[in-house]
Structure 1
């Protein structure tokens, strides 16, 4: 069984569930109930409130050759390649307003007002599609009208989270 702890550096570390008197990791619960861990050294021996445990073998670096995965041919199998991370999509909000990425604040405002006059729900009371389109245009204007939100969108390709 594995217990996950947080190291002093803030990283997760798996330790074996059973305390081990020959262990090299001190584990304790903080005031929030989170398991914390640290390396035991001569300068910082085990405190009375800590228990000695061993790091879990599956998460330790440097597995022995017998524990590595092998291919049928006998050689070590390299780890599988990671899928590529999607880059910034960007452009979807600009397309909703019908402007380019180099549009000025005035161009964005003009495009929004033009579309708002065309798609406003009061002008199309029974048309739910126009209402949805109006919401999308309003969201795009909300993000692109503020310089800080626009910069975040240009960098990440996603609208920033509301605060």
Structure 2
């Protein structure tokens, strides 16, 4: 392990210090769907795991999942899934009680920024109910997406 990766690991350990059972960074709720994200320092310290669970009594349709990270309010980055350039993930249909997990690599420059400036890592996400809501390109800022409805994104510790 190189010094820089070791430093990043230490930074993540410091930034994600928690009891034995780590607390999710966020919980996002739709009527029957729950989404939460967490870093598992002892498993994969440079990745961010997101789980979507169907808490309802009926099969949930596929949904859109979007995950962001930042170390300060000035720079927000969408996390990409795996080695792809996909930042919007279309989940599969979920039966009652079923979950699906996605792993997002955390950009090294974001980690470096957190380490050097001692900013806390901030994560947020949104999931979109595809029953009656469609994602559209934002005409206002021309740089991102907006949704007809975005659900609560970040819980304070």
TM range (shorter): under 0.3
Q: With a CA cutoff of 8 Å and minimum separation of 6, indicate the structure with the bigger relative contact order.
A: 2
Higher Cα Rg, which structure: 1
The structure with the greater share of residues assigned to strand is 2
TM-score, normalization by structure 2 = 0.21
